[in-house]
């Protein structure tokens, strides 16, 4: 479909006949994400507020459908690239966000850490070195003032502001640690996402939300006991990338619940179903 044909469709978005409007909207949606640039161009040149609003809604619908498809593809391929999964979540709010831009940002953090890093020291000391870069030099920190803000789930915003919630900070820390060849993985604790350093020789845990403080399995035992929960392997062992993205989406849903945005809550619920394999 060429530009003139799309213009003709757009001109019918405020037709007096509601059935005509519905048919036009369905036709535009059927064209898929490739039509988005044309709709954006029409939005910029069309000064009819009714048409502009409908164009905004159509663009969002097309972007959301594309996000669901890409998230499904990422999940079905095994979710190997955690950064890609986090990027997909962020494109819900920032559809024009570049994955390459995130890779460059993380590469810079890795370089800063690499300059200070030593391979000939024990694991605890390696983590201390990484902590000094992440929380000392680069000033990453917990966003305690706006803990439930949706921005805490957007990796681009966390990279820019250096403030995040437990899981977003853990993801950035883990991605850098893995580039340094450290066996660091995510752990799904109730109410708190943490990391574990796990090799054949040793295992300990890292609370990134508290500046990378290191603790032991017995500390998790005490934490679980305080919550009156039975012990479970999930509280001690590494979780996969798909589980991490699923938890990020659940946090995002809770953030929109706090702001009273029921429409976005419903959309995030649909994304959770995609990642959980329910759709």
Q: Considering only 13-22, 190-199, 246-255, which range has the smallest mean pLDDT?
A: 13-22
Query: What pLDDT score does 141 carry?
Result: 97
End-to-end CA gap in the chain = 30
Share of the chain above pLDDT 70, in %: 99
DSSP for residue 235: G
Contacts of residue 232, defined as CB under 8 A and 6 or more positions apart, other chains included, come to none
Say whether pLDDT at 279 is over 70.
Answer: no
Q: How far is it, in rounded angstroms, from Cα 43 to Cα 52?
A: 6
Tens digits of residue pLDDT in 131-162: 999 999 999 999 999 989 999 999 999 999 99
Q: How far is it, in rounded angstroms, from Cα 264 to Cα 92?
A: 10
Q: How confident is the model at residue 87 (pLDDT cuts 50, 70, 90)?
A: very high
* Its pTM surpasses 0.75: yes
**Which residue from 236, 90, 94 is spatially nearest to 171, judged by alpha carbons?**
90
Say whether pLDDT at 2 is over 80.
Answer: no
Q: What is the mean pLDDT of the chain?
A: 93
Query: What pLDDT score does 250 carry?
Result: 97
Q: How far is it, in rounded angstroms, from Cα 160 to Cα 158?
A: 5
Q: How confident is the model at residue 10 (pLDDT cuts 50, 70, 90)?
A: confident
Tens digits of residue pLDDT in 17-65: 788 888 888 888 888 888 888 888 888 887 888 888 889 999 999 999 9
Say whether pLDDT at 73 is over 90.
Answer: yes
Q: How confident is the model at residue 107 (pLDDT cuts 50, 70, 90)?
A: very high
The residue with greater pLDDT, 277 or 86, is 86
Output the six-digit token pair for 95. 């559809």
Q: Considering only 3-12, 103-112, 197-206, which range has the smallest mean pLDDT?
A: 3-12
What phi and psi values does residue 248 have, to the nearest 5 degrees?
-60, -45
Burial class (CB in 10 A: 0-12, 13-18, 19+), 24: buried
Which residue pairs from 78-82 have beta carbons closer than 8 angstroms and sit at least 24 positions apart in sequence?
Answer: 78/242, 79/240, 79/241, 79/242, 79/245, 80/241, 81/241, 82/171, 82/174, 82/175, 82/241, 82/244, 82/245
Say whether pLDDT at 270 is over 90.
Answer: yes
Contacts of residue 195, defined as CB under 8 A and 6 or more positions apart, other chains included, come to 170, 173, 174, 177, 184, 185, 186, 187, 205, 206, 208
Say whether pLDDT at 16 is over 80.
Answer: no
Mean pLDDT score, 153-175: 98
User: For the residues of 131-163, what is the DSSP string, one character each?
Assistant: HIIIIIIS--EE--TTTT-GGGG-HHHHHHH-E
Say whether pLDDT at 273 is over 80.
Answer: yes
Q: How confident is the model at residue 1 (pLDDT cuts 50, 70, 90)?
A: low
């Amino acid at each position: 479909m060429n530009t003139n044909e799309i213009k003709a469709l757009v001109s019918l978005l405020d037709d007096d006949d509601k059935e005509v409007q519905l048919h036009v909207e369905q036709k535009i949606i059927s064209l898929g994400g490739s039509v988005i640039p044309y709709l954006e161009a029409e939005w910029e040149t069309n000064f009819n507020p009714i048409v502009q609003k409908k164009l905004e809604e159509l663009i969002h619908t097309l972007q959301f459908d594309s996000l669901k498809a890409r998230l499904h593809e990422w999940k079905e391929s095994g979710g190997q690239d955690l950064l890609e999964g986090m990027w997909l979540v962020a494109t819900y709010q920032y559809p024009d966000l570049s994955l390459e831009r995130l890779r460059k940002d993380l590469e810079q953090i890795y370089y800063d850490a690499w300059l200070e890093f030593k391979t000939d020291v024990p694991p605890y000391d390696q983590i201390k070195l990484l902590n000094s870069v992440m929380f000392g030099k680069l000033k990453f920190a917990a966003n305690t003032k706006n803990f439930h803000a949706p921005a805490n789930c957007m990796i681009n915003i966390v990279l820019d502001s250096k403030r995040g919630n437990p899981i977003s900070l853990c993801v950035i820390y883990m991605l850098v640690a893995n580039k340094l060849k450290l066996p660091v993985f995510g752990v799904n604790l109730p109410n708190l996402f943490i990391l574990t350093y796990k090799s054949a020789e040793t295992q300990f845990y890292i609370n990134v939300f508290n500046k990378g403080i290191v603790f032991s399995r017995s500390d998790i035992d005490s934490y679980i006991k305080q919550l009156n929960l039975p012990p479970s392997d999930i509280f001690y062992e590494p979780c996969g990338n798909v589980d991490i993205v699923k938890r990020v989406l659940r946090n995002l849903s809770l953030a929109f619940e706090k702001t009273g945005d029921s429409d976005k809550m419903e959309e995030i619920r649909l994304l959770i179903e995609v990642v959980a394999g329910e759709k």
